[in-house]
Amino acid sequence: MNADHKLPTVDQVDPFISVEILDKNEVPELYYLVKEFMIHGPCGIENIKCLCMVDKKCSKNFPKKIREFTSINGKGYPVYRRRNDGRFVDKSNVMLDNRSVVPYNKTLLKRYQAHINMEWCNQAGSIKYLFKYINKGQDRASICFVQSNQQYDSQESVDEIKDYYSCRYRSACEASWRIFSYDIHYKKSSIIRLPFHLPGQQQVIYEDSDDIEDVLDKPSVAASMFLEWMKCNQSYLEACTLSYVEFPTNFVWKIDERKWERRKRGFSIGRIHAVSPSLGEAYYLRILLNKVKGPRTFDEIKTFNNVVYPTFRDACYAYDLLDDDNEYVEAISEASFSGTGYYL
C-alpha cells in the first residue's frame, strides 16, 4: 500500500501485465499455460456458436487490435501492448495470435496454473468490476434424475420436486474451510439494537388463552430493556454518565434474566430503533434519548433546568434541539448510509 509501490504510469504496466504469446523455446512451460488458460476463443466467423457471441459479434471485443505500446484510451481504460511478433497458438484447429490473449501475470499464471485475468485498476469502474466477481456467489446448476432404462413418456406426470435438484458448486478450498469450521463471515464490533417506548406502551407477548390479569402480573411486563435501563441508572453511579446509546459500551443485557449487568469483557455499540417524525411523541423521545444521560424515570427525560415539561416535544424545544433543521439533517445523513435514493 506504500506510494512507492503504485503504478502511476503505463510504462510500469508491461512488467506486471502481459497479453502476448511467449516464446515456445525459451519458456515452454509458460507458453503452454498461456495456450491452455489465457486464450480467448476461437470466436467470430471461426466459431459463430461461441458463448461470447452476441449479434454475430464478440461481446468481449476479441480479437483486439495490434498495439506496439501500452496506452490509455479516451474513456480512461488501459490498452495493453500486443505486438505483431508472428507467434501463434492452435486452438480448435484455428490459429490465434496476440490479439486473442487475455491479460495475465506471468508469476501468478505459473504458480496457480489457472485462468487468472490480471487488469490495471485505475478507476472506480474497474474496482466495481472486480468486486462483482467477489460477491456474485457460487456457480449453480439444476440437475434432473431420470431412469435410463425407460423411454420418456409424454403422458406421464412429472414430479419436479422429486426429480429436480438445485445444486451449488463448492470448490475443494471452500469445502476444507467449512470442514474445519472456520468463520465464513464476522462482524466487528458487535451491535445491539436498543428498543424504547412511551410510558405504558411496552410490548407484551402472551397466548390467546392467557387471562389478561395474569399477563399483566408477569414480572417481564415491567422488565423491558428500556425500563431496566432506567432502573440501572438508579443502582450504578457510572450509568448516570452514559446516554442510552452509549450504555452497551459498559453494560450487557442478559436476556434470560431480563436485566442489565456490568460488562466484563468484549465491546458493543448501541443503536436506537429508528422512528418516523410522523409518530409524534415517540420521535421526540428518541431525540432526547441521544442527549439525556442517566434518567431514572420518564419525567427525568422530560426535565431541563429542573423544569419538568408536559411533553417530550416541549422538552426538545427547551434543549434547543428543534429550533433549526439540524435534527432532520442528521436523520437524513444517518439514513443515507443504508437507504436508497427513493427511500430518502
DSSP secondary structure of 41-83: ---GGG-TT-TTEETTEETT--S---BSS-EE-TTS-EE--B-
The β-bridge relationship of strands 190-194 and 268-272 is parallel
Backbone angles phi, psi at 39, to 5 degrees: -105, 125
Per-residue model confidence as pLDDT tens for the chain (344 residues):
566 766 667 778 888 999 999 999 999 999 999 999 999 989 988 888 899 999 889 999 999 999 999 888 777 678 899 999 999 999 888 999 999 999 999 999 999 999 999 988 766 666 666 666 666 666 677 777 776 655 555 556 667 666 667 777 777 888 888 899 998 877 776 888 898 989 888 887 777 887 887 777 777 666 788 888 998 998 888 888 899 999 998 999 888 888 899 988 887 888 888 888 888 899 999 989 988 998 999 999 999 999 999 999 999 988 888 777 777 787 788 788 777 778 77
**Side-chain-facing half-sphere of 99: CA atoms under 13 Å:** 14
The β-bridge relationship of strands 71-72 and 303-304 is unpaired
CA distance 173 to 179: 10
For CA atoms 272, 277, 283, 287, the dihedral sign is positive
Helix (H) or strand (E) holding 304: strand 303-304
In the prediction, which pLDDT does 10 show? Answer: 77
C-alpha distances out from residue 48 to 56, 94, 156, 208, 238, Å: 7, 13, 38, 67, 75
Report helix, strand or coil for 258: coil
Which of 195, 219, 215 lies closest to 206 in space, CA to CA? Answer: 215
C-alpha distances out from residue 137 to 83, 131, 132, 168, Å: 37, 11, 9, 9
**Side-chain-facing half-sphere of 332: CA atoms under 13 Å:** 7
Report helix, strand or coil for 120: coil
Q: Cβ distance 38 to 102 under 8 Å?
A: yes
Q: Cβ distance 3 to 79 under 8 Å?
A: no
DSSP state of 93: T
Q: What is the signed CA dihedral for 305, 309, 312, 317, rounded to 10 degrees?
A: -60
Whole-model pTM over 0.75? no
Residue 303 C-alpha cell reads as: 426535565
**Side-chain-facing half-sphere of 68: CA atoms under 13 Å:** 0
C-alpha distances out from residue 160 to 150, 270, 282, Å: 18, 47, 51
Q: Where are the beta strands (DSSP E) in 85-224?
A: 89-91, 94-96, 140-144, 164-168, 190-194
